[in-house]
Structure 1
Amino acid sequence: MGYFCPALSKAVKTMKKGEKVLLTVKPQYGFGEQGRPASEVEAAVPPNSTLHIDLELVSWKTITLIGDDKRILKKVLKEGEGYERPNDGAVVRVRLIGKLDDGTVFTKKGHEGDEPFEFKTDEEQVIEGLDTTVLTMKKGEVASARIPPEHAFGSTETKLDIAMVPPNSTVFYEVDLVSFEKEKESWDLKSNAENIEAAAKKKDEGNAWFKMGKYAKASKRYEKAAKYIEYDSSFSEDEKKQSKAVKISIKLNNAACKLKLKDYKEAEKLCAKVLELESTNVKALYRRAQAYTELVDLELAELDIKKALEIDPDNREVKVAYKALKDKLREYNKRDAKFYGNMFAKWRKTENAAGKQNAQPMAIDSTA
């Protein structure tokens, strides 16, 4: 469009669907002093020409870059209904076609009389890029997505229902979101008991992902679990007791995830929240000490380890961690001693050199 007339791309941004306008375009916003040569289908535009253009905005397609790294290109082919979109854990039903760069169809689902393809989002039931795309769509929306290999099938050759996807392939999907059912949020549940049950269930999902080594996914489950029981002012005493136990477990497990993900500050915060609920929790002290160690706050790490051993002197994990911490403290003390020793030696050398330079020979009175 910019080649046809640079002013058009500016004009259409101000228009509504179905709007018709007459544009008068001055040379500096058209083709300027150079004009434009004739082509097979279009006449030449002389230099310094003012243009008069009848323009109608028939339709447009929204193109966006989505995903955390903005590497997935999504184009809306048909607008959907309302404002709701699927959330993590939603059950979605779609019609889709997957193609390679050369147009080869490798998968086709929900077409030619088949039932829509159903899957649960954020459960690795489909490639990450397809998951990401569907989470941005509305019911009834049709969209295309260009998905790079790192969000598709990666560096391995993959057999799909119609054709093989070669390694490192960028793939193209056309997706029609037929319907979806969102996973219930805490405010959707009717009773405190339901919220406590939902938190425990989501925690178990997190545990399953943790065992598979999927720490980021596990952490998301623990964070969702925590939201179900975040506000407990309306809970009975018995419900508060139940939710407290679940809260402690969720935060400890999430802290373990954050340690694995090297997010040590967040791990420290989660352990601190556990210790607010239960000041003698050995796991919280131990994991916070691990976080402090990685953050090179060794004195605080030692305080937590010592307190944990006071509470549970026979805890093998904590004893091993204390030995490792003492070794690290010795290493840092040696390093500090060497650093300050060298610094002091350099300072003394500089002082001595300055003293020699400033020293004056004793004056002799020639009249004596």
Structure 2
Amino acid sequence: MTMFIDENTECGIKKKLLYAGDGELPDFPDGTKVKFHYKTVKLDDARTVLDDSKKYGKPMELIIGKQFKLEVWEKCIKTMRLNEVAQYTVDKSLIGVYPVVAKSLREFASGGKIEHEKKHCCGLAQFQNSGLGHSDLDELLQNPQPLDFIFEVTEIDYPGEYKKESWAMNEQEKMDSVPSLQAEGNQLYKQKKYCKAAEKYAEALGCLEQLALKEKPGDTEWRRLDAMKIPLLLNYAQCKLLLKDYYQVIEHTNTVLDKDSDNVKALFRRAKAHFACWNFEDAKKDFTRAAELDKTLSGVVKKELKILEETKKEKDLEEKTRLQGLFEKM
């Protein structure tokens, strides 16, 4: 069964229904999330397959109205029912940016990141000169041609039926999500699910980072957002400390102390991480400073410093014995 998406056959898109799907055609209001598999096929005699999402093991996700770089894909998807499979032959004039989009999708499938909010692919001319790092996409970039896209819609979720990822949120939604993500992280921490708790804190930090990018550094709103990061960074560092990811602890407490040099929690947690990494002098310095700022820590810090000195002596003795043995062999 072959049909055109709209009555104007000059639109450059021809649809061939392969499987009818289920139910009525959805309305697809803005914010609808559609999961679908895609296969990109050249119109040559060999029907060369350029990309196939099923080989990546996961479907593509598209949020209607979020200005996906390849606009024609959204137009095609909005003509499909749940579980429908259809083939779209698309004129080359509508898919000039496909090679650049395909590059991003391949990198995303390999564990990288893909930008969802940008409508246009900037630097197309640059890629034409430098290449995309994929010979098949480079050839398509230099010699545009019509392509077949085979789509299979696997899931349709309407706005409010799913939890949005940060890239799909507007500014207010990102701001509103921060306290709830922090609360989720706190609950997971109480349950000793430190890895999942860290993920929630990181997600909240990501929302704040995205919001701060829209502000001028140093302005009132930027400073407010920057201050909101501190408790999240401290919570994230505590999770990483318990997970024995000590270098992450040092990195994130450094960030806090760059903003607030006398933050006791950051000093104490960094001291513990330095100690675990055998950075004894740095650990001693942080422990001592934390006790100076908060006298209630004096007893705890005294015990930590005693353990530190004993561990340092043992470490020095081990190193001395190792070097002595090495010299004897020589």
TM-score calculated relative to the size of structure 1? 0.45
Decide which structure has the larger Cα Rg and report it: 1
Query: TM-score, normalised to structure 2's length?
Result: 0.49
Higher helix share: 2
Q: Which structure ranks higher in relative contact order (CA pairs < 8 Å, sequence separation ≥ 6)?
A: 2
